[in-house]
Amino acid sequence: MTRKISQLGPVGQLAYLPQDFDAAVKHWTETMGVGPFFLMENVALGDAKYKGVPTGAVFSIAIAYWGDVQIELIRPENAEPSIYCGEYAVTDQLHHICIFVDSIDEARAACAEAGAEILVEGTVGEDGAVIYVDAGQGPGGVIELLQNMTGADAIFQSIKDASIDWDGSEPLRKLW
């Protein structure tokens, strides 16, 4: 029996697609006190597809932790088809949530059972995988399901550790 999407795991990330990336970093770090953010520039998923069609979408992300939840800020770097351009590119509000899953195959099955449309799919590193789905809410209601690549948990833990007792210095740090 396939599980419901919510049973795949807790929400681990809140993601935003700000029109002004730098202003968003400033808001989250100065107003909200969340940080530091770690920047990963020019990210591209392996074997990326948008609505079943190959895409060369490239984006940059900045990740910080607010307690146990990641805050992700996204900046598209090109206009290739993706959820960061076109109808799914809702800005300056919650763009999507992410659930970290143990099995992308189980996540696909749960999403299929729920009637969720796969918008984006691809690989992450050597052994990770991700899908972004529309489970019926349309733009602004996207769910990311991420099976982390080997080593990602350690990277995320180091970002989380940096948030503990963060003194406000270096609010945006380059990870790669």
Say what percent of the chain tops pLDDT 90.
93
What pLDDT sits at residue 133?
97
pLDDT band at 2; cut points 50, 70, 90: low
Query: Any idea what DSSP says for residue 18?
Result: -
Asked if residues 101 and 144 have their Cβ atoms less than 8 Å apart, the reply is no
**pLDDT, tens only, 106-130:** 999 999 999 999 999 999 999 999 9
What pLDDT sits at residue 1?
63
Cα separation, 134 vs 53, in Å, equals 16
What pTM did the predictor assign? 0.95
Strands 37-43 and 53-54: unpaired
How does the average pLDDT of the chain come out, rounded? Answer: 95
Which fold does the domain 9-166 belong to in CATH?
A: 2,3-Dihydroxybiphenyl 1,2-Dioxygenase; domain 1 (3.10.180)
What pLDDT sits at residue 84?
97
What pLDDT sits at residue 140?
80
Q: Residue 48 to residues 15, 87, 152: CA-CA distances in angstroms? A: 19, 18, 19
Cα separation, 70 vs 91, in Å, equals 18
Bridge partner residues of 74 (DSSP): 61
- Domain ranges, ordered by start, for the chain: 9-166
**pLDDT, tens only, 124-158:** 999 999 999 999 987 788 999 999 999 999 999 99
Of 48 and 2, the one with more pLDDT: 48
Of 77-86, 89-98, 137-146, least confident by mean pLDDT is 137-146
